[in-house]
Amino acid sequence: MAVQPEGTPCWADAMFGDLEGAKSFYGDVLGWTFGESSPEYGNYTQAYADGKAVAAVVPPMPGQGGEEERPQWCLYLAARDASATADRIREHGGQVLMEPMQVADFGSMCLARDPGGVVFGVWQAGSHEGFEVIGEPGAYVWAEIYTREPAKSDAFFPAVFSYRQRDMEDDQMDFRVYDLGDRSVLGRMRMTEDFPPEVPPYINVYFAVEDCDEAVARATKLGGVLRFGPMTMAFGRFAALSDPQGAHFSVIDTTKTEGEMPKLTDVG
């Protein structure tokens, strides 16, 4: 089994009150197909792009997911030892929302919140190693921490996962990149006043698509809301959306690029 470096984004899932609605929406927008729900694991349902596991959807557990609770994509970061990672999370000012638990032979997980309110997951792989493909149409490709308190995230995540940090040289935004070795694995964006106050800090997950504009058209036709874009940059043509149940996500076509790559400056 390949062990990913600690802190590597390795899986994503979301809880939806209308599970069939979510499956229909993402199936149409991202081309996902779905496996059988697992009643013994709360009807956890894996999504596939071209036959490879890329994410999962799940209905609320009893007592969870009331109408006031907006669905949210949860990004999981790889850990060699979920319990040790949970200890570091607490040590550096984070909150463990769900204590480490073994999920059959699939692996161990916990859920946590950083000091600025960003919720994320931790996954210690067993037989389920995480994403079976990255960057291909329908699959995860990138994620960014959206926070109103960037200093807290910048102190917390690198302390827990040993990220190296680099700042983007851009007067228009406060954006930082977290690296593992020579690989960039996460972005961190300061939330400006453009974000409504009722939108909590979150991790924005990007899924690759063959055509950004077509994906946006499909999403909005099905009741999704376009939040930003489409816009073309050096990384690709992308757009930020929310699905009909309110979960935020982004789509990106990495084959359409424009302009120079932004300069990044080491900050530790």
Dist. CA 71–CA 166, nearest whole Å: 31
Parallel, antiparallel, or unpaired: how do β-strands 74-78 and 9-15 relate? Answer: antiparallel
Between these two residues, 4 and 31, which has the higher pLDDT value?
Answer: 31
Residue 192: inside a domain = yes
Helical pair 19-30 and 212-221, crossing angle rounded to 10 deg: 150
In a domain, 102, yes or no: yes
- 131 occurs within a structural domain: no
Q: What is the CA radius of gyration of the chain?
A: 18
265: pLDDT strictly greater than 90: no
- pLDDT value, residue 62: 63
Section 149-166 average pLDDT: 97
Q: Is the domain of 215 the same as that of 240?
A: yes
Residue 262, domain member (yes or no): yes
Cβ within 8 Å of residue 32, ≥6 positions away: 23, 26, 47, 48, 49, 54, 55, 138
Q: Are residues 112 and 213 in the same domain?
A: no
The continuous run of DSSP H or E covering 154 comes out as: helix 150-161
Q: What percent of the chain has pLDDT over 90?
A: 81
Q: How many domains does the chain have?
A: 2
211 and 100 in one domain? no
Please tell me whether residues 101 and 176 are part of one structural domain.
no
Residue 268 C-beta-side C-alpha neighbours within 13 Å: 5
Q: What's the CA angle centered on 139, arms 149 and 74, to 5 degrees?
A: 35
What's the domain range around 48? 9-125
Of 78-87, 138-147, 189-198, 240-249, which range is least confident? 189-198
Residues 200 and 100 in one domain: no
Residues 146 and 259 placed together within one structural domain of the fold: yes
pLDDT of residue 264: 82
HEC-encoded secondary structure of 89-125: HHHCCCEEEEEEEEECCCEEEEEEECCCCCEEEEEEE
Measure the CA–CA gap between 157 and 122, rounded to whole angstroms.
12
pLDDT class for 170, splitting at 50, 70, 90? confident
Is 108 in the same domain as 144? no
Please indicate, yes or no, whether residues 116 and 146 belong to a single structural domain of this protein.
Answer: no
With cut-offs at 50, 70 and 90, classify the pLDDT of residue 2.
Answer: low
Angle, CA 73 vertex, CA 72 and CA 78 arms, to 5°: 140
Averaged pLDDT for residues 231-257: 95
Q: What is the pLDDT of residue 266?
A: 86
**In a shared domain, residues 102 and 19:** yes
pLDDT attached to residue 227? 93
CATH number at residue 98: 3.10.180.10
**Spatial CB neighbours of 20, under 8 Å, sequence gap ≥ 6:** none
Do residues 119 and 185 both lie within one domain?
no
147 domain residue, yes or no: yes
Helix (H) or strand (E) holding 226: strand 225-233
* Bond before 230 cis per omega within 30 degrees: yes
Cα–Cα distance measured from residue 229 to residue 103, given in angstroms and rounded to the nearest whole number: 39
Residue 145 lies in a domain: yes
Domain boundary among 125, 150, 185: 125
CB-based contact 32:136 (threshold 8 Å)? no
Q: What is the pLDDT of residue 70?
A: 81
Residue 83 pLDDT > 60, yes or no? yes
User: Does a structural domain hold residue 121?
Assistant: yes
The closest of 49, 192, 204, 197 to 132, measured between CA atoms, is 49
Yes or no: say if 121 and 74 are a contact pair by the CB < 8 Å rule. yes
Residue 4 maps to a domain: no
Q: List residues bridging with 60 in a β-sheet.
A: none
Domain co-membership, 156 together with 206: yes
In this predicted structure, which of 71-85, 200-214, 250-264 has the lowest mean pLDDT?
250-264
For CA atoms 93, 94, 97, 102, the dihedral sign is: negative
Region 147-163 average pLDDT: 97
One domain for residues 96 and 162: no
d(CA 87, CA 192): 31
From 125, 155, 184, give the residue that closes a domain: 125
The values of phi and psi at residue 107, to 5°, are 155, -170
**Final residue before a domain boundary, out of 76, 96, 125:** 125
Q: Which amino acid is at 196?
A: P
